[in-house]
Amino acid sequence: MTILALDLGFIIEKLIMIAIVVFASLGIALYTTFGERKVAAILQDRPGPSRAGPFGLLQPLADGLKLIMKEEIIPNAASKWLFILGPGLAMTASLMTCAVIPWGSAMDIFGRHVALQIADVNIGILYVFAVVSMGVYGIMIGGWASNNKFSLMSALRAASQAISYELAMGLALIALLMTTGSLSLKTIVEQQVQGNWWNVVYQPLGFLIFFITAMAECNRTPFDLPEAENELNFGYHQEYSSMKLGFYLFAEYINMIMSSAIMASMYFGGYDLPFFNEASVAPNIAALIGVGTLLIKIVLFIFLFMWIRWTIPRFRYDQLMGLGWKTLIPLALFNMLLTGAVILAKL
């Protein structure tokens, strides 16, 4: 049966995949909050949450329950619809990124050849950029609608920070795209699977710039100026309570997972397990191993994010802008020129 020349099985397959990816991201984000607290504790010689369940493993569920049970407060002076729209937008934008990430090669299920990617868009990276910049709207709208000067300040900071760092991020990516010749994440990963080296070998400077800007995009310390508690009380989500606050906090962790996934896909071979011949096992098992490999890479990146957060203090705002405009952008331009020169020389 076909609808609009579309295979119904194809639609069901994609819907199932979307459900799996979204719920898996939410689940991982839930446990990333737990991981964050545990990592912070261990780096500071503390045991961390250990009361709820064995090793405190039920802690995120308890946190979630607490957030849901809290009273929903919408301030009188707030712009009501925008106030509600803000967290929804932040969450949607961060979840939308996962559509183009290739989670694995392909599996044969019930006679169907299923690619483990929701959509192999040929402008994958551009799509990611578009969606990530949408995330700023969630913060901007939430901060503005709260009608609180601290929230507004924080939202302004978040927006200008995101814009400044997206430039350097884009420039770092252009250098990568010059070597790969494709915007599709799937193609980029496949090139790394087939080729000898991961892209990070060809683009070490590009990766460094991308990593720093990704950290800034996720509002992670040392770039968490929008949430600078000592200047802005709590940041753009100051007036929020209950699950709306939960959405903002969650969106931050999902952003972190997604940028880790993108970094792993673009620079660290995605689902490519090094020194392992995928052809030596059944294709389905190879695909599952690929998914596991990508997840491990994501977890390592998340750990790196947390490790940096609990080591380095926050930037001052002018230092942050200075780093973005005066250091990262020229460096990214230099990296682009260098890459172009090498490609030309090789021709």
Residues binding other proteins (CB under 8 A) = 42-47, 50, 307-308, 310-312
Least gap, CB of 301 to other proteins (angstroms): 14
**Please, which residue, 193 or 304, has the CB nearer to other proteins?**
304
C-alpha torsion angle, residues 211, 177, 127, 274 (rounded to 10): -60
CA distance 305 to 221: 8
**Please, which residue, 45 or 71, has the CB nearer to other proteins?**
45
**Please, which residue, 244 or 309, has the CB nearer to other proteins?**
309
At residue 6, φ and ψ (nearest 5 deg) are: -110, 140
Cα dist. 33→29, 230, 306 in Å? 6, 22, 10
Note the Cα 276 to chain centre separation in Å.
27
Least gap, CB of 225 to other proteins (angstroms): 17
Least gap, CB of 45 to other proteins (angstroms): 5
CA distance 143 to 19: 30
CA angle 185, 94, 219 (to 5 degrees): 105
Least gap, CB of 311 to other proteins (angstroms): 5
**Please, which residue, 237 or 314, has the CB nearer to other proteins?**
314
Least gap, CB of 30 to other proteins (angstroms): 23
CA distance 17 to 119: 10
**Please, which residue, 16 or 42, has the CB nearer to other proteins?**
42
Peptide bond into 222 cis (omega under 30): yes
